[in-house]
């Protein structure tokens, strides 16, 4: 039976319904805990023509660009596999003319999403980059990559960037409830801004929890349910990257990926096996264990280190004390109603 | 007689000595992480270590894999976000940050974005990440160049050093007075910047390296400090700390990668 309040879906259905060709797509995660399975599902469904935003375009950007899903990339940092002798999908696509890139600093990129998240049309950023090629060299954004304005209060030149409001954010977190309240902790980075700036949000999580868990730890919620389009429960959903409290980075699988990524053929073979060759995350983990055993995965599972509980309690939860008297006025309900009538406050 | 050391260990120690007690430090991956941990343990116990992802005041138990690595510590004191980590730098609360270098020019301007044409690069490097904003606003920046090059003209200027030298950085009005690169570490020596001209010069040379070895990497007539010193032999305490905390750092990237792959291949067994 479908629960009305539930946004729980499979990755396949969520991506199919909420991620469209030509979208501005933002990867919510920053360096750590990448939404690997949602990305793989985007690739498997052959979605294309994205303008892709990624704060730290490493693993996520390489596979999406390598699969030919991306026309335009807005980022601050890309992967280079194998050092000076190696290469990357981004480098290959730039040289083939199939990809345009706009480079920002970490702060500038994040500031665009912060502006978008709060409904502003632009935001002031740190003016130092005006001395650099980040400011001077522009690609598809042209004049709108950065603009300089006068501060109306000090008369100083201010560097600004335009707000970003991507069409859809895909993001992985530790836990969420069925209605989409998403909780994430650790390196906060720019995860909340990326999600909240976006028009649609698809959340994947290591576990779906009861709503009571969310209610008693609201400081961990980074995306409120009313903003979320779909929730997908995907254990190991960020593998081979890491999720705090669940598992560490898998250097073995990450190493296989990095070794493959240096050439187009290598990356294609890796993706054929680990993305196109696995219909979902369960199949991916099965294949992993079949190929390499379960020893590596067992070895990277987190040992618990719990946060001290924060006490959200208060003195009482009703205006009426144990004797049934209102706590400030000291009256029972009967006495209150009698007083209201005596004072002419009640109308029949 | 002190223990024998590796070159990587020597480099980590040279960087760690730039950190002073009670300072606020933003750590990058690789060598700076180990240097930060070493400094906090041996020379600067009250330093506050930070990552730009918003992990503030952590005790590193492991070398960081990246700058959002909450797995390298057990908890931390303040969880903020990337936006605030940079605005705290902008406001002058960060004393030292560390940046890697792809290309560097005479005045400490840095390229970490692309070799060749930016739009069709011969080699696409990572990009700015936090680099341009940190080199703009941290009080001091420590640069490390392990695989990069000295060049007359950068292919792309990612991060601002002393611009055209002299007082051009201060005069631009874009940066806090006195900020900028404080030193550059390479596998051959430690370089600093002339207080007046802001030109880079060789201040300290590593053991077994000659001045000619250093000069042949630099396409201009590199100035040498009159009181050029030699990087001291690490102490046993320093070597022991690095080898225990970051054994792969002691081994160096290529050797540790080779040993890791061999070991992982043995461990990966089909069921």
Positions in chain A whose pLDDT score sits under 50: 1
Q: Pick from A188, A289, A303 the residue to mutate for testing the B interface (most B CBs within 10 Å).
A: A188
- The answer to whether the complex's ipTM is over 0.90 is yes
**Average pLDDT in the B46-72 region?**
94
List, as ranges, residues 89-108 from B with C-beta within 8 Å of A.
90
The set of residues, in sequence order, having a beta carbon less than 8 Å from that of A268 and lying 6+ positions away, is A66
Closest-CA residue in chain B for A86? Answer: B123
Concatenate the DSSP letters of all residues of A121-171 into one string: SEEEE-GGGGGSHHHH---TTGGGS-EEEE-TTT--EEEEEE----SEEEE
Radius of gyration of chain B (CA): 19
Residues 6-25 of B with CB under 8 A from A: none
pLDDT tens, position by position, A62-86: 999 999 999 999 999 999 887 778 8
Interchain contact, B269 vs A56, CB within 8 Å: no
Pair of tokens at residue A326: 């209102």
Which chain B residues are within 8 Å of A132, Cβ to Cβ?
132, 157-160
Percent of residues, chain B, with pLDDT higher than 90:
89
pLDDT at A57: 85
* Chain A residues whose beta carbon lies within 8 Å of the beta carbon of residue B128: 76-77, 103-106, 134
Produce one character per residue of A30-48: b if its CB has 16 or more CB atoms within 10 Å, e if not.
bbbbbbbbbbbbbbbeebb
Q: Which of A27, A107, A141, A151 to mutate to test the interface with B (most CBs of B within 10 A)?
A: A107
Question: What is the nearest CA distance from A86 to chain B, expressed in angstroms?
Answer: 9
Distance from CA of B133 to the nearest CA of A (A): 7
Query: B115, A87 in Cβ contact below 8 A?
Result: no
What's the token pair of residue B192? 């600093």
Is B238 an annotated catalytic residue? Answer: no
- List C-alpha distances in Å: A174 to A26, A168, A183, A205, A222: 19, 20, 6, 5, 11
Q: What is the pLDDT of residue B271?
A: 60
Q: Between chains, do B128 and A76 touch, taking CB under 8 Å as contact?
A: yes
pLDDT in tens, B88-138: 999 999 999 999 999 999 999 999 999 999 999 999 999 999 999 999 999
For B18-25, what is the mean pLDDT? 96
Domains along chain A with CATH numbers: 11-121+164-299 (3.40.1080.10), 126-162 (no CATH), 314-348 (no CATH)
- Residue A291's nearest CA partner among A330, A252, A344 is A252
Residue A1: per-residue pLDDT: 43
Cβ(B128)–Cβ(A76) under 8 Å? yes
On chain B, the residues whose CB falls within 8 A of the CB of A244 are 70-71
Q: What pLDDT, on the 0 to 100 scale, is given for residue B261?
A: 83
pLDDT the model gives residue B30:
80
Q: Which of B9, B18, B23, B52 is catalytic?
A: B52
Phi, psi of B203 (to 5 degrees): -105, -30
What is the Cα–Cα distance from A286 to B204, expressed in whole angstroms? 55
Question: Do A106 and B260 make contact, defined as CB atoms within 8 angstroms?
Answer: no
Written as six digits, the tokens of A95 are 């040289």
pLDDT of residue B189: 98
pLDDT at A4: 66
* Residue A135 forms contact with B (CB below 8 Å): no
Asked if residues B270 and A287 have their Cβ atoms less than 8 Å apart, the reply is no
Asked whether the predicted pLDDT for residue B269 surpasses 80, the reply is: no
Q: Any CB–CB contact under 8 A between A291 and chain B?
A: yes
**Average pLDDT score, chain A:** 96
What domains does chain B contain, in order, with CATH numbers?
7-267 (3.40.1080.10)
CB atoms A187 and B55 under 8 Å: yes
For residues A134 and B158, is the Cβ–Cβ distance under 8 A? Answer: yes
Query: How far from B190 is each of A212, A315, B8, B221, B224, CA to CA, in Å?
Result: 57, 62, 14, 17, 11
Q: Does B136 touch chain A (CB under 8 A)?
A: yes
Q: What is the pLDDT of residues A131-176, one digit of tens each?
A: 999 999 999 999 999 999 999 999 999 999 999 999 999 999 999 9
Give the contacts of B67 (CB within 8 A, at least 6 positions apart): A31, B27, B28, B29, B51, B52, B53, B129, B130
State the best of B76, B80, B87, B129 to mutate against chain A, taking most chain A CBs within 10 Å: B129
Compute the Cα dihedral for B195, B7, B49, A243 and give only its sign: positive
In this predicted structure, what is the pLDDT of residue B266?
82
Beta carbons of A139 and B119 less than 8 Å apart:
yes
Q: Is the peptide bond before A158 cis (omega within 30 degrees of 0)?
A: no
């Amino acid at each position: 039976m479908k629960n009305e309040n539930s946004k729980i879906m499979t990755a396949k259905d969520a991506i199919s319904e909420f991620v469209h060709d030509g979208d501005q797509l933002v990867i919510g995660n920053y360096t750590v805990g990448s939404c690997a399975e949602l990305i793989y599902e985007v690739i498997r469904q052959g979605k294309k023509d994205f303008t892709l935003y990624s704060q730290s375009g490493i693993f996520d950007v390489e596979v999406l660009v390598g699969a030919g899903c991306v026309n335009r990339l807005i980022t601050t940092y890309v992967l280079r596999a194998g050092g000076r002798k190696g290469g990357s999908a981004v480098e290959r696509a730039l040289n083939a003319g199939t990809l345009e890139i706009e480079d920002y600093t970490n702060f500038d990129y994040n500031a665009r999403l912060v502006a978008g998240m709060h409904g502003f049309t632009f935001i002031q950023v740190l003016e130092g980059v005006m001395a650099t090629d980040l400011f001077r060299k522009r690609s598809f954004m042209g004049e709108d990559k950065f603009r300089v304005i006068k501060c109306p209060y000090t008369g100083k030149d201010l560097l600004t960037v335009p707000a970003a409001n991507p069409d859809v954010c895909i993001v992985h977190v530790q836990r969420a409830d069925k209605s989409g309240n998403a909780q994430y902790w650790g390196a906060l980075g720019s995860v909340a801004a990326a999600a909240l700036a976006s028009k649609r949000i698809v959340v994947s999580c290591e576990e779906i929890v009861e709503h009571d868990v969310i209610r008693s730890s609201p400081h961990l919620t980074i995306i409120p349910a009313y903003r979320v389009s779909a929730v997908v429960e995907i254990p190991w959903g960020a593998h081979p990257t890491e999720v705090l409290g669940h598992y560490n980075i898998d250097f073995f699988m990450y190493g296989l990926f990095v070794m493959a990524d240096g050439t187009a053929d290598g990356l294609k073979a890796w993706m054929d096996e680990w993305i196109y060759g696995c219909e979902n995350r369960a199949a991916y983990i099965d294949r992993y264990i079949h190929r390499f055993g379960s020893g590596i995965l067992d070895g990277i599972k987190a040992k618990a280190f719990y946060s001290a509980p924060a006490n959200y309690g208060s003195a009482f939860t009703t205006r009426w004390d144990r004797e049934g008297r209102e706590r400030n006025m000291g009256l029972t309900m009967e006495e209150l109603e009698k007083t209201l009538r005596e004072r002419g406050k009640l109308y029949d | 007689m002190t223990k024998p050391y590796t070159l990587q260990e020597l480099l980590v120690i040279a960087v760690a000595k730039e950190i002073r007690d009670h300072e606020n430090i933003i750590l990058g991956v690789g060598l700076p992480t180990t240097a930060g941990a070493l400094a906090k343990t041996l020379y600067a116990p009250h330093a506050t270590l930070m990552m730009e992802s918003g992990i503030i005041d952590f005790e590193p138990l492991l070398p960081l894999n990246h700058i959002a690595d909450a797995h390298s510590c057990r908890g931390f004191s303040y969880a903020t976000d990337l936006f605030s980590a940079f605005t705290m730098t902008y406001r002058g609360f960060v004393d030292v940050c560390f940046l890697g270098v792809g290309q560097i020019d005479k005045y400490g301007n840095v390229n970490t974005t692309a070799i060749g044409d930016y739009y069709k690069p011969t080699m696409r490097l990572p990009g700015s990440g936090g680099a341009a904003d940190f080199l703009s606003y941290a009080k001091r920046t420590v640069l490390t160049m392990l695989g990069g090059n000295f060049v007359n003209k950068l292919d792309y200027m990612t991060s601002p050093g002393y611009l055209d030298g002299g007082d051009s950085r201060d005069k631009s009005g874009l940066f806090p007075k006195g900020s900028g690169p404080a030193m550059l570490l390479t596998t051959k020596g430690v370089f600093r910047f002339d207080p007046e001209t802001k030109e880079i010069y060789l201040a300290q040379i590593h053991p077994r390296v000659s001045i000619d070895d250093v000069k042949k990497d630099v396409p201009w007539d590199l100035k040498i400090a009159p009181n050029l010193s030699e990087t001291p032999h690490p102490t046993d305490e320093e070597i022991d700390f690095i080898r225990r905390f970051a054994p792969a750092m002691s081994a160096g990237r290529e050797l540790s990668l080779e040993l890791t792959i061999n070991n992982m291949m043995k461990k990966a067994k089909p069921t």
